[in-house]
A and B are shown apart, each in its own frame.
Chain A
Amino acid sequence: QKEVEQNSGPLSVPEGAIASLNCTYSDRGSQSFFWYRQYSGKSPELIMSIYSNGDKEDGRFTAQLNKASQYVSLLIRDSQPSDSATYLCASLNRDDKIIFGKGTRLHILP
């Protein structure tokens, strides 16, 4: 079992709708979680970090963390075609190492 698991997708969402991206992690000692966006052929770009249980909102993005369920999610409201990318979930594990999931490909349908 990989430490960070994501559905590879593609996830197709109509423009203007809410895109929901999910991630689970196996190391209960993980304390910090990150969402990166990666356009094809480009490097990952940090869009959200979350450290405590609950929701964290930044513009159209909301990150959610549930440590009891070892679950992290990212919601994108009012999805735009420019949101089409691969979204990488990452966690900082007990060895102080950031572990990435494989990423979920998101496709916003115009």
Chain B
Amino acid sequence: GAGVSQSPRYKVAKRGQDVALRCDPISGHVSLFWYQQALGQGPEFLTYFQNEAQLDKSGLPSDRFFAERPEGSVSTLKIQRTQQEDSAVYLCASSLGGGGAREQFFGPGTRLTVL
């Protein structure tokens, strides 16, 4: 596709509910990143994939957060037993090459609101 796409664009969840957020990177992009952006803050790194391998998950805030990219293209970020503090915009970005050095291109984000 022409750019990074994410779905859903908006998600409202009740506290304790599980959610799954999808990211379709730019076709051919090797690297995929997930970020969490709270209001008034910059994006905070969550996790990074190179193809299907999850090379860094040090930013995931708890074991309720899980990400996968089984075929090296589409990725899913899953949050189990959502809490109010999980409310944020979740951004996905992809880059052409491996490693974090390459310019990253962001999707529109998923705004998650946990009630």
Show the binding face of A for B, using Cβ within 8 Å.
Answer: 4, 8, 31-32, 34, 36, 42-46, 49, 88, 90, 92, 95-103
Contacts and interface: CB of A to CB of B under 8 A. Distances in A.
Interface of B: 33, 35, 40-45, 48, 56, 58, 91, 99-101, 103-109
15 contacts: A34-B103, A34-B104, A43-B109, A46-B104, A92-B100, A92-B101, A96-B100, A96-B101, A97-B45, A97-B56, A100-B43, A102-B40, A102-B41, A103-B41, A103-B42
Interface of A (DSSP majority class) = strand
Nearest to B89: A43
Given A98-B45, A103-B42, A43 B104 contact: no
Contacts of B33: 98
A98 to B, nearest CB: 5
